[in-house]
Each structure stands twice: as structure tokens, then as C-alpha cells.
Amino acid sequence: MNIIMNLRRIVISTKINLLVISVALVSLLALLPFQASAEQSKTFGEHTIHYNAFRADTLTPEIARLHGIVRSSHRIVINVTVIKKGSEGEMGSAVEADIWGIATNLNGQNKSLHFFPLREEGTVYYIDQLRITDKERLNFKIFIDLQPFSTNITQVGKIDKQIVEINFSQQFFTD
């Protein structure tokens, strides 16, 4: 009788463990699409550009206040970070860049982007804010000068710059 009771406990315990694992896997899989769209990146040589855009009201009031960001469901924050590849075995680090761009809605209206740096604990983020309307789709064209302080002159009167372009599109909802 004891053996049968022990076997039942083992079977029940195994079923519960499998159920917990199944629920955890389903939850993880459900989050994957959000994680994939939350941040995007592109690599240009030794630089990787991380970029995303999100509603400003998703920031905590403390973070928004600290960085002078207006929290609103009708405003978005565009965030860009430039990471330069580290030497072998070392992590990369955020580097300075000049970043500007344009956001265009489906009516062809352009909104200029003028990114400003936020420096925190050895890293630098570049952000800008825009007003949005509900269901507005914006096409972003962002330019990044990877050598903002370069004075390398390759020809008479020509300064050698390394400017890369990132394009992405995103729809925003205010409610």
C-alpha cells in the first residue's frame, strides 16, 4: 500500500512540475514578440546602433523628470545608442556620435529629429521627443555620424566623415 501511495505522489508531483514548466514556457513564448520589437539594432563595421521608439508615458515620473522628458500618451521618445566593438574578449562601449533625422507620417508631413545626449555611468544615449496622434505611423530616417570629431581631410576641402543611415517604421497608439 505504501508503494502505491508513493508512486501516486511521484506521478502527481511530476504532473504538477510539467504543468508549471508548460505555463512558464507559454509565458516566455508570449513575451518573445514584444522583446523582438522592443529594441532594434544594425551593425556598421565596428559600430552597432541600437534604436527604439516608445510612448513617453511608459517612463517612470522620476526618470522623466531627471532627464527633462515630458510624460504623455501623445508623445514618444526615440532612443539611439552607438556601441563600438571592444577588443577581443571585451564588451563594447557606448561612444559619442552626432545624430539627427526626420520622421514622416503617412500624409507626408515631416518632423525634424534633433537628438541630445544623456550621459549616465559610462554610457551615452541620444534621445528626442515627438508629438503623436492615435494610430499614427511614422517612418524614421536617422543619420548617425560615427566620427563626430573627425578632421581627417582626404582631399582638398573634403572632410572624411562616416555617416550611416537607419530607417524604420512604427505605428503608435495613444489609448
Residue 84 within a domain: yes
Domain that holds residue 138: 39-172
pLDDT over 60 at 6, yes or no? no
Residue 116 within a domain: yes
Residue 34 within a domain: no
Phi-psi region of 63 (alpha: psi -120 to 50; beta: other; left: phi over 0): alpha
Place of cell 536617422: 142
Query: Nearest-CA neighbor of 97 among 167, 43, 38, 161?
Result: 161
Say whether 135 sits in a helix, a strand or coil. Answer: coil
Residue 45 within a domain: yes
Number of domains in the chain: 1
Residue 54 within a domain: yes
Residue 9 within a domain: no
Residue 5 within a domain: no
- Helix residue spans in 39-126 (DSSP H): 61-67
Cα gap 92→121, rounded to integer Å: 15
How do residues 31-57 score in pLDDT, each as one tens digit?
Answer: 333 333 456 999 999 999 999 999 999
How much of the chain is helix, strand and coil, in % rounded to 5? Answer: 25, 45, 30
Residue 166 within a domain: yes
Which pTM does this prediction carry? Answer: 0.71
User: Which pLDDT does position 2 carry in this prediction?
Assistant: 60
How do residues 86-130 score in pLDDT, each as one tens digit?
Answer: 887 778 899 999 999 999 999 999 999 999 999 988 899 999 999
118: CATH = 2.60.40.3340
